[in-house]
Chain A
Amino acid sequence: MSEDKTDKNQEIIGFACSFCTFKASEMAGSLRMKYPDGVRLVQVPCSSRVDPAFVIKSILEGADGAFVAGCHPGDCHFIKGNYFTRRKIAALKEMFDAFSMKDKLRLFWVSAAEARRFVEKVTGMYNEIKEKKNAGKTN
């Protein structure tokens, strides 16, 4: 019962770049690859569109985790957008760390061709957070 509830309430918001990670997620769907239903995406034109405020908002409003995902460094459709993303998320991670919630935030590089990598990354994140949550409950 409690297991069930944990599972149901678990939510991860992902900000996915239209040119790569969102494409990978489309391909993952077409290939009928499975991943947890709690993973939900917000499509953004570029990972650099993600204002750290969006990530904070997601967590404050109840998400168990949030990730930002874009093209591999050097492959950004907007030339350098993902370098800005990397810097911003690195700073944000420090802040998350200060509040002991480092694992609630991830940054992934997933290209349009990497459907499998997308599924592995989001599933991995989901399961790790779930484990932590359950461990916390029994303590």
Chain B
Amino acid sequence: MKTGIFICHCGHNIKHTVDVKKLSTYFKMFPSVTVSEDYPFVCSEPGQDMIKDSIEKHGLDRVIIASCTPSLHQELFKDLLKKSDLNPFLLRRVGIREHCSWVGDDVDKNTEKAIRLIKAGLYSSSHYVPLEEKRVDVTKSALIIGGGVSGLSAAVFLSKMGMQVYLVEKEAELGGHTRNLKNIWPIGEDGTLIIEEMEKELQGRENVEIFTSTTISSFEGSFGNYEAVLLTRAGEKRIVAGGVIVAIGFSPFDPQIKPELAYGIDKRIITTMDFERSIDALSLPENPRIAILHCVGSRDEQIGKPYCSRVCCINALRVADTVKEKYKDSYVESFYMDVRAHPRGGEEFFEDTQEKGVLFTRSNIAEIIPGSKGVLVRGEDTLFNELFEREFDLVVLSIGMSPPEDNRLISSLLKITLDKDKFFLEAHVKLRPYDTAVKGIFIAGACSGPKDIEESINHGRASATKLYGFLNLGYAFVEPFIAFVDMKRCSGCRMCEKACVAKAIKFDETKRLVHVEEAACMGCGLCNATCPSSAIGLRGYLDNVIDDEISALVEAV
């Protein structure tokens, strides 16, 4: 065997706490190791050239790249092997950054650990065999779950590209929360018009099917051919989609979770959303006194919402601005922790409202007490360290975004993950911000964390673009990590058949042996772990691969 080991410094990231020179020298001792080098950045162009030259010069038949975690740059390095005429499945990645150099500070211990990790790669990769990526036919259709502004923009894009779109919305009409917003910052658009514009773009398109008042009752299949059962008002409908975009938005924070705010017991205490809906119907005195509370349901550890909801500062400022426009001599006081007016033009808008006479008080609000004359706001001024109590005619709570109420349902149906705040989690926050961990399933809009309308539209289009790229050819390649049977060893006991959830294992009555239907196999490896005769193996994760990995990891040095 001719193995090449390439150890990355990742600039400072690995070199800082791992003795990379020691590693490359150490592995030169192994007879099966032909090349062992360390290099500042193996993913850089010169780094890649070095590996390629090495493969060609020495005729390497195994490549071990010890660098960042195996899921990063995987395609890049696989392509590199392909370019060097080496089967890409003879590559082994060893994560000495996320699983070693970043985890501890002790150089000796880390170096020791890195040796073990690389050894595990070296021993186990000796059992690797060349594999072929499996070509699967994919259905050029998309299931979009959620008909809000991001789901709609994804639908518009995909339908224009000629792809079949199934848009599912659980409410009776499309548009989500955007439909209820009458005056969207910065230029005061009407949300209804934005939604109608998108609906118009979808109208009459043969490749779009819209299901309102519809939920999803089951979801199966794999990338390229997902099958969903939709529960429509007219009954069940089964559809097949190559990929999915989850765009189920958010739930407005319910201030009743904080009883000290007295929301819901007095109609002079409203939310920014209520304000939006009822602005013209509010009966206020001629020169009203209005309090606006920022961060209601955001940045609040006590109720498990430590995150910033991003849009509520602007919403609060807009309420202040609207009131000041309507009632020149009103008294408007805004109670904030920080003002995070982050979108373009937000800071300028903040200054404008200050110039219009809105008072900003940095504070913690303790409670709101409805009285006969006015509503009492009680709190602490955190700049002056003073307690205060003031009376208002109206209190507006600028509420944040909570995860959508169907988050758990959709996450368990589609097997996609939620983050710690219960929004959907992307595959990688920087490198794969639209993907989920499941191939062909994407997320868009505020269901993956608070976003404003512009961001949600961008997110929806971006996910749609990615999905289009995945399905456009009508076929795709998937990794060949699936099960296979060694006929000589199979006793026909059918234990694996019982275990396989995917029903991928079929029993042959005449031969009294089993075989695996490759297209159905999900690649979990349960059959491999179940077979008493070690007759069924999972490609890429064979018993001897894992056995040798274990041996290397625990071997006394």
Chain A residues near B (Cβ < 8 Å): 8-9, 11, 13, 19-20, 23, 25-26, 28-30, 32-37, 40-46, 48-52, 54, 57-58, 61-63, 74-81, 84, 88, 111-114, 116
Contact = CB atoms under 8 A, between A and B. Distances in A.
Interface string B518-548: 0000111110111000000010110100110
Contact of B554 (A43, A48, A58): A58
B98 A61 contact: no
Nearest to A41: B99
A73 to B, nearest CB: 10
A49 B528 contact: yes
Interface stretch (B36-44, B328-336, B411-419): B411-419
Contacts of A52: 529
11 contacts: A25-B99, A26-B99, A44-B546, A45-B540, A46-B525, A48-B524, A54-B550, A58-B550, A77-B437, A78-B522, A114-B420
A45 to B, nearest CB: 5
A51 B526 CA distance: 8
Interface in B81-105: 95, 97-100, 102-105
Nearest to B482: A45
A33 B547 CA distance: 29
Going nearest first, the 7 A-B pairs with the smallest beta carbon separation are: A29-B98, A49-B525, A78-B524, A48-B526, A46-B524, A51-B529, A37-B109
Contacts of B105: 34
A42 B554 CA distance: 12
Contacts of A54: 546-547, 550
Contact of A42 (B522, B524, B550, B556): B550
B274 to A, nearest CB: 33
Contact of B481 (A45, A50, A88): A45
B273 interface: no
B104 A34 contact: yes
B239 interface: no
Interface in B62-121: 69-71, 95, 97-100, 102-106, 109-110, 112-113, 116-117, 120
B549 interface: yes
B555 interface: yes
B499 interface: yes
B438 interface: yes
Contacts of B70: 43
Output the residue of A19, A28, A78 with the most chain B CB within 10 A.
A78
A49 B529 contact: yes
Contacts of A78: 501-502, 522, 524, 526
Given A44-B541, A48-B524, A113 B550 contact: no
A29 B99 contact: yes
Contacts of A37: 100, 103-104, 106, 109-110, 112-113
B443 to A, nearest CB: 13
Contacts of A25: 98-99
B553 interface: yes
Contacts of A19: 415, 417, 437
A34 B103 contact: yes
B292 interface: no
A112 B417 contact: yes
B213 interface: no
A20 B112 CA distance: 27
Given A49-B525, A49-B538, A61-B554, 14 more contacts: A9-B556, A13-B550, A26-B98, A26-B99, A32-B103, A40-B117, A42-B549, A45-B523, A45-B524, A46-B526, A54-B546, A77-B438, A114-B420, A116-B420
Contacts of B543: 51
Contacts of B502: 78-79
Interface string B481-500: 10000000000000000010
B97 A20 contact: no
B322 interface: no
Contacts of A33: 103
Contact of B102 (A20, A30, A50, A61): A30
Contacts of B418: 111, 113
B283 interface: no
A31 B99 CA distance: 11
Interface centre among B109, B541, B550, B556 (most CB of A within 10 A): B550
Contacts of A74: 412
B551 interface: yes
Contact of A76 (B112, B415, B523, B541): B415
A74 B525 CA distance: 18
A25 B522 CA distance: 23
Interface centre among A20, A26, A50 (most CB of B within 10 A): A26
A57 B109 contact: no
B425 interface: yes
A28 to B, nearest CB: 7
A44 B555 CA distance: 20
Contacts of B112: 8, 37
